[in-house]
Structure 1
Amino acid sequence: MKPAPAPNVVDFHARLAPGLLTTMDACGITRAAVSAGGLVDLDTLSDRLVEAHRGDEPADNAAVLRSAQASGGRLLPFFFADPRCDVEAYAKAAPDFRGLEISPAVHGVRLDDPGVTALVATAAEHHHPVYLVCLGRPGTRAADLVALATAFPTVDFVFGHCGFTGLDARGLATIAPQPNIAAETSGCFTAVARLALARLGPARVLFGTEYPLQDPRVELAKLAALDLEPPVLRAMTSENALRLLGEENR
């Protein structure tokens, strides 16, 4: 097996939670893109993965921003937006954030919702990547993400968890022809992470952990099990994230 990840590991998907920086230090993770977490409990989230329920739980984006500002550049804040009520708030706060997250599961929204379109238009203006997790319902599938990405060709979209099942080979095949969609690997099977690299290429795959729901050591072990060549490993664990976040020279 080849050496473990290079020193500059960037986690493209973590949640703000107690112990985040300490855990990053223990795992050798240098920086993390971080969003608000804990909006709903796991039982509620599980229900919403199947049934389209309107959620109105507010994300504490202000806390994310405060933590990022106090982190010495280690935490890169994403604005977690409800498309039905956060369009103006995101437009106002966008200069202070580094990316946007939209969740069809948490907020019960379709990707063709006018609020989603407005949020992504703001992301385009500020060169923010857009992270989202597709579902199996109409309006939230990988094909719907492709339609959104086609409408906004200058925006970088991130297909969270390599799809919604952990085994979403069909989703990877659907997004593969769309060059402005990358895939993030937290929570997916090793075989699916390998498939993402094969179908999208190393420049379109991102390492993430989904801390605190997932122990970062699990995702690092999965990464080691992929046994990647050093250039591919560097791309997946740092170079791609830094490029999407505009951090190459920082």
Structure 2
Amino acid sequence: MIIDSHAHISRQDYSSPERLLDDMKTAGIDKAVLVPGGMLDVRRMTRYVTGEEKPILTAPPNDTVLEIIREYPDKFYGICCINPNDGAPAALASLEKACRDGFKGLKMSPLVHEVTLMGDVVKELAALCGDYGIPFYTHLVIQARANTAALGSLAEAFPGTNFVIGHMGFGPLDIDAIELAARRENVYLETSTGNPLSIQTAVKLAGPDKLMFGSEFPLSDPFVEKVKIDRLPISDADKETILHHTISRLLGL
């Protein structure tokens, strides 16, 4: 069993479920965890990171993800995305509804929503994730509002919630993110777009049970991302842990 723990999905041609399924077949991937796509045009990512352009959407299209996982229940799981700027009542109600609908986790998007990870609404969402037993996934940015240190503070404040750092942290080799995952029991790393040296360093310092394979489809190619894991100089058992055991445990599959 191989599970892609992070793929963006939408009804656009370049990020459609049909294209993802084709890419999964090529890569030998059995299932995927979907997050809402379409809020950014990933082909223009540099302009979003620099602030030159603003996101296309700020309302996460969770309904689209729900439709797709119901169309392909044997292939896909879903993680919802919520905008904390909607305010605590709306954000918490959205997460509770998503859990009732069968979503398996929460995705935070500091790039799209300019999130402050230690903000009051984010902290309430993190607490609710712990109550529901679902992981809190976030990517990081270089700004202090949502960098590695901010995520570390959030993870320390909510030890009963599991936190997943997307893309191996921020930058080519975020040693701070790797050391945070090694130090804190409730912090994990997702491998998509991470370089092989970064992933290998994380296996050594944090252990394979703190890593989960992801593709970041459609920004990256599932086949290419899986090859990074296949070529790691580690045991087959450790590769299996990264390719499906860690994400299966966190999502309760």
Q: Is the 8 A contact 1:12 1:208 kept in 2?
A: yes
Q: Which deviates further from its counterpart, 138-147 or 237-246? A: 138-147
Report sequence identity in percent: 30
Q: Which deviates further from its counterpart, 46-55 or 109-118? A: 46-55
Question: Offset at 1:38?
Answer: 1.8
Cα gap change, 1:54/1:148 in structure 2, threshold over 3 Å: closer, same or farther? farther
Q: Which runs of 5+ in 1 are unaligned?
A: 1-7
2:175 paired with 1:182? no
TM-score (norm 1): 0.89
Question: Offset at 1:122?
Answer: 2.2
Q: Is the 8 A contact 2:26 2:223 kept in 1?
A: no
Partner residue of 1:218 out of 203, 207, 224: 224
Equivalent position amino acid for 2:172 in 1: G
Cα gap change, 1:145/1:99 in structure 2, threshold over 3 Å: closer, same or farther? same
Cα offsets for 1:154-202 (capped at 9, x unmatched)? 1111111111213212321234211100101110110000011111111
Counterpart CA distance in 2 for 1:176 and 1:104 is 23
Counterpart CA distance in 1 for 2:188 and 2:162 is 7
Pick the structure with more helix per residue.
2
Equivalent position amino acid for 1:161 in 2: H
Which residue number corresponds to residue 149 of structure 2?
Answer: 143
Counterpart CA distance in 2 for 1:44 and 1:147 is 31
TM-score (norm 2): 0.88
Cα offsets for 1:28-55 (capped at 9, x unmatched)? 1111111011202247643443459986
Counterpart CA distance in 1 for 2:62 and 2:53 is 22
Which residue number corresponds to residue 118 of structure 1?
Answer: 124
Which residue number corresponds to residue 5 of structure 1?
Answer: none
Question: Offset at 1:134?
Answer: 1.1
Q: Is the 8 A contact 1:78 1:99 kept in 2?
A: yes
Partner residue of 2:6 out of 13, 28, 37: 13
Equivalent position amino acid for 1:208 in 2: G
2:69 paired with 1:68? yes
RMSD: 1.9
Cα gap change, 1:202/1:175 in structure 2, threshold over 3 Å: closer, same or farther? closer
Q: Is the 8 A contact 1:112 1:139 kept in 2?
A: yes
Which residue number corresponds to residue 26 of structure 1?
Answer: 26
Counterpart CA distance in 2 for 1:235 and 1:95 is 28
